Amino acid sequence: MTKTLITNGTIVTAADTYKGDVLVDGEKIAMIGKGLKAAGAKRIDATGKYVIPGGIDVHTHMELPFGGTFASDDFHTGTVAAAFGGTTSIVDFAVQGMGEPLEKARDAWLRKARGKAVVDYGLHMIVRDVSDKVLKEMDVMVKDGVSSFKLFMAYPGVFMVDDASIFKALSRTAENGGLICMHAENGGVIDVLVKRALAAKNTAPKWHALTRPPEAEAEATYRAFRLAEMAGEIPLYIVHLSSSQALEQVRLFRDRGLPAYAETCPQYLFLSIDNYDEPGFDGAKYVMSPPLRERWHQEELWKGLARNDLQVVSTDHCPFCMTEGFQGLPKQKQLGIGDFSKIPNGAPGVETRMVLLYDGGVVQKRITLNRWVEVTSTTPAKIMGMFPKKGTIAVGSDADIVIWDPRSTSTISAKTHHMRVDYNPYEGRKVKGKASVVLSRGEVIVQKDKFVGTKGRGRFIKRGSPILQT
């Protein structure tokens, strides 16, 4: 088995920062110490660099079918991009076909990933109809390592489920050890607002945001937590939280000692509703749900992260191209020219999460170095049932390790990124920090700005029940 000795780095975990060496034996971390020796081991000099657990992005959509097209990254292009950005595990969303068994969706997504993914991957299951049969299938999913389920309170007629279904699914997770992940927006109200806007000939991308107000997110967030409370104080995880009003609801329930959890995403920390005013149809780049908010929300979300009302930063990576024919892809964002409601929802981000959070969080002193590791790796691993195999630098953990260069500077651009999409929402942004060497289960997969792993080397992560802390 290959041994690798990472020497003289500053090891950073969610809890500690210290100088030391890390010995990797095969796929695992074998030893941590000072002045370690290992005859015949490959050496990586990490002097002046941080040695951190690989990033874990628990919210991606590779090849998601949406609005008549598919997200443009597949498990190969998307995970190569993840690796370049210092992310060594993802959790993607399989989608239940209406009236179809969950197993079918799980197997379809495993087929999409197998032979393609270059980092390890888990799956959540999007549940679209919560019948008694499906509730039983959820138990099987949990046993097989697909231990979390996304429900939608938005997109009536497509993904949305009613309160009774949510209540039943929540109760089921109390028995089977799974976790409900909630897309919290009031879909009924949004639909009315969308219809009104289109009737008034308001068709530009900005109307996507104007018809999805923060109150619609706050109301659904509150309702979801109340349903979880009524079901027996069941843990609930809100995905892609975007607004101060929704965060207020999370805080309300957490302050009452209830198991309320939420993630936000870089787009809500760095971009704003002003981006929809970019010329021509460029606002479509930022059409995602929930939408970007007024700038003042950003500082509230940063505070939420620093104070642990928000526990995770994921990406909701769901890219669609602006131009038809990019790398042979069909028309995507342009499907919504003349009708904002037909713009496929989503934006790219799997490659830029770690650096944006490092640069905008740690360098700007909004969060500490340890908190950066915690929200991008350790807590996602815990909440999504992968810890301590993933999410830390510890003896016995998978050797998913990033050698992070804090001094490197770069400019984010679609010209240099690795995601299969023709724009970058952060185009031109100068950032500090970079994943200079990336190991996945002991194998170097990125070094010297090159991907050196092999297509399909990524493995399915059989996840367990969430480890939840307040």
Comparison of 298 and 345: residue with beta carbon closer to ligand URP = 345
For helices 244-255 and 297-306, angle between their N-to-C axes, nearest 10 degrees: 30
For residues 285 and 179, give the distance between their C-alpha atoms in angstroms, rounded to a whole number: 31
Give all strands (DSSP E) within 96-242, no chain letters.
120-126, 148-152, 179-183, 236-238
Does 316 bind Zn ion (CB under 5 A)? Our answer is: yes
Comparison of 22 and 288: residue with beta carbon closer to ligand URP = 288
Give the DSSP letter of residue 433: E
CB of 37 to ligand URP, least distance (A): 48
Contact 118, 84 (CB under 8 A): no
Out of ligand URP, Zn ion, none, what residue 346 binds, judged by CB under 5 to 8 A for its kind, is ligand URP
CB of 50 to ligand URP, least distance (A): 31
Contact 180, 239 (CB under 8 A): no
Kindly write out the interface string for residues 275-314 of this chain, putting x where it contacts Zn ion by CB under 5 A and - elsewhere: ----------------------------------------
Comparison of 119 and 239: residue with beta carbon closer to ligand URP = 239
Does 183 bind Zn ion (CB under 5 A)? Our answer is: yes
Out of Zn ion, ligand URP, none, what residue 208 binds, judged by CB under 5 to 8 A for its kind, is none
CB of 288 to ligand URP, least distance (A): 4
Q: Which of 119, 76, 78 is nearest to 419 (CA)?
A: 78
Comparison of 76 and 240: residue with beta carbon closer to ligand URP = 240
CB of 435 to ligand URP, least distance (A): 25
Comparison of 292 and 367: residue with beta carbon closer to ligand URP = 292
Out of Zn ion, ligand URP, none, what residue 288 binds, judged by CB under 5 to 8 A for its kind, is ligand URP
Pull the structure tokens for residue 157: 């007629």
Comparison of 41 and 356: residue with beta carbon closer to Zn ion = 356
Tell me if residue 255 falls in helix, strand or coil.
Answer: helix
User: What single string gives the DSSP state of each residue in 324-340?
Assistant: TTGGG----GGGGTT-G
Out of Zn ion, ligand URP, none, what residue 168 binds, judged by CB under 5 to 8 A for its kind, is none
Comparison of 341 and 345: residue with beta carbon closer to ligand URP = 345
CB of 265 to ligand URP, least distance (A): 9
Does 217 bind Zn ion (CB under 5 A)? Our answer is: no
Interface residues with ligand URP (CB under 6 A)? 61, 183, 240, 288-289, 316, 318, 345-346
CB of 202 to ligand URP, least distance (A): 20
Tell me if residue 469 falls in helix, strand or coil.
Answer: coil
CB of 103 to ligand URP, least distance (A): 22
Task: Say how far residue 160 (Cα) sits from the centre of its chain.
Answer: 21
Q: Given its phi and psi angles, is residue 286 left (phi above 0), alpha (psi -120 to 50 degrees) or beta?
A: alpha
Out of ligand URP, Zn ion, none, what residue 345 binds, judged by CB under 5 to 8 A for its kind, is ligand URP
For residues 316 and 265, give the distance between their C-alpha atoms in angstroms, rounded to a whole number: 7
Comparison of 345 and 392: residue with beta carbon closer to ligand URP = 345
As to burial, measured by CB atoms within 10 angstroms (0-12 exposed, 13-18 middle, 19+ buried), residue 175 is exposed
Q: CA angle, 57 as apex, 54 and 63 as ends, to 5°?
A: 125
Pull the structure tokens for residue 200: 């008034």
Comparison of 115 and 188: residue with beta carbon closer to ligand URP = 188
Q: Name residue 284's beta-bridge partners.
A: none
CB of 240 to Zn ion, least distance (A): 6
Residue nearest to ligand URP (CB): 345
Q: Burial code of 250-270, b = ≥16 C-beta within 10 A, e = fewer?
A: bbebbeeebbbbbbbbbbbbb
Pull the structure tokens for residue 328: 């042979």
For residues 331 and 329, give the distance between their C-alpha atoms in angstroms, rounded to a whole number: 7
Does 374 bind Zn ion (CB under 5 A)? Our answer is: no
CB of 396 to ligand URP, least distance (A): 34
Residues that bind Zn ion (CB under 5 A): 183, 316
